[in-house]
Chain A
């Protein structure tokens, strides 16, 4: 191969047949097209008869140098936003940068947390300690300490690289969504050991013998800051808070409702007396609702659960139930007109009350009754 290549180069200026490349099947260029810097040479030949004698002629060789058509694609490489918890460190977003330039390029990487119009509604915080790394081993997963390169080095035409944004989520309860944009900029390739300088388009008239830079990238973000033909590409992903810590407390109290001797008047805790237990759950974290609260309590020994006595959604003050809530069915079915469910398991003697949502700064009470054996 090498020897033939040399011969072809030597002959390119004069021999039409050789420049045609008919000598061997050439691999077609990829979608990015003929590599920048390639010299395209055209030579024609003529044959004719003069006084019956066959003659031939060869034209001059017309040439031009293929210029650099700079293009890139930056895309998200995960199906949805990354779900994180408050205070999580080293949360990862994954992107893919593709070199659509007809040459080997470096890509400079940076980030922006400026909200993008219409893209991340509800963007209300910025992540901290934000870093950008390139996937070094091609496994598509961020490996801390392994994926350390901060720019894409020597990416071939039509090749892609996976890029990670790694950042910390602040320990603030009120946060919910942070949009982060990865910005890639096409830079000069050719130095395998260092980051190349950002490309700038050639403004001067073309020099046929030099490789000009022509920006051909699109506007990658619509209304966002990117514009067509600027050598930049952008894509955005969000950190979405799905797990928060709330300060949840449960206070339990009991009160004797009645006894067989005194009835409702100053009842005593004697056998046969009815005791009501009150569980008050309080969410002390303002603005952050608690989800899917399950209150469970196993009834005390030597007592018998009073069927149908569970109430949920009552008002509790200072750990005592001042108002009973909605009576629940013991089978766990939904209580009409409320989000609550309550159940009693006779086998385990466990009372369960489910409260789907408890808003920050509020409390809700649940109660049940037992009879002292």
Chain B
């Protein structure tokens, strides 16, 4: 157990170095909530705003925006978002591709393919509450100057 924080510290150092080198891929994380307002045509308009009051049970939207600020195309782009432990995954946000999810941080796939091992050794189908990490892979290289974003919905435990 003692070694874990050490490993984390090393990772931080690596990340910091990469950041300092100002790599071409810029990743921006934001946490938003839905705000509903009545539109002039009578429908309800849902916009994403900065989190105002967030209490347990509320829905929050995690948005990952990425951009290739370099001059070279970037291949094999993988965006990985481990979930804060206070957050329970729900689904991809409408309009965003569905992420691969993981319940152990190692194996990724669609939720239906994942199983959770219980303390007694048996396994059961994974539910959204079991998700600990989400991941997206870009199928094609990210051209210079292009950008995009992914988003998923979750609730505050």
Contacts and interface: CB of A to CB of B under 8 A. Distances in A.
B24 A50 contact: yes
A46 B78 contact: yes
Interface in A52-67: 55-67
Contact of A16 (B77, B80, B156): B80
A112 B4 CA distance: 57
A57 B19 contact: yes
B11 A15 contact: yes
Interface residues of B, number: 55
Nearest to A213: B53
Nearest to A20: B82
Instruction: Provide the main secondary structure of the chain B interface.
Output: mixed
Interface in B57-114: 57, 60, 62, 64, 66, 70, 72, 74-87, 105
Contacts of A304: none
A42 interface: yes
Contacts of A46: 25, 27, 66, 77-80
B31 A102 contact: no
Contacts of A44: 27, 29, 64, 79-81
A11 B12 CA distance: 8
A102 B133 contact: no
Closest 3 CB pairs of A and B: A33-B56, A20-B82, A69-B55
B76 A34 contact: no
Nearest to A1: B1
A67 B57 CA distance: 11
B27 A58 contact: yes
Interface in A249-280: none
A48 B84 contact: no
A214 B55 contact: yes
B157 interface: yes
Contacts of B79: 44-46
A68 B5 CA distance: 31
B81 A15 contact: no
B157 A59 contact: no
Contacts of B145: none
A14 B16 contact: yes
B77 A208 contact: no
B36 interface: no
A214 B23 contact: no
A297 B109 CA distance: 93
Contact of A43 (B29, B54, B57, B85): B29
Interface of B: 1, 4-5, 8-9, 11-12, 14-16, 18-19, 23-31, 50-57, 60, 62, 64, 66, 70, 72, 74-87, 105, 132-133, 142, 156-157
Given A24-B1, A48-B25, 15 more contacts: A4-B1, A11-B8, A16-B81, A23-B8, A40-B86, A41-B84, A42-B83, A42-B84, A47-B80, A48-B75, A55-B18, A56-B14, A57-B23, A64-B60, A69-B55
Most B-side CB within 10 Å, residue of A28, A56, A208: A56
A202 B29 contact: no
A206 B19 CA distance: 31
Contacts of A144: none
A33 B57 contact: yes
Contacts of B60: 64
Given A7-B8, A33-B56, A34-B56, A57 B80 contact: no
A17 interface: yes
B5 A57 contact: no
A212 B56 CA distance: 13
Contacts of A18: 8, 11-12
B19 A62 contact: no
B75 A49 contact: yes
Contacts of A208: 50-51
Nearest to A56: B18
Nearest to B84: A40
A266 to B, nearest CB: 96
A23 B27 contact: no
A152 B15 CA distance: 48
Contacts of B82: 16-17, 19-22, 43
A42 B15 contact: no
B55 A67 contact: yes
B23 A40 contact: no
Contact of B51 (A41, A102, A206): A206
B18 A58 contact: yes
B128 to A, nearest CB: 14
Interface string A114-129: 0000000000000000
A212 B52 CA distance: 9
A233 B142 CA distance: 57
Contacts of A299: none
A11 B57 CA distance: 26
A22 B157 CA distance: 16
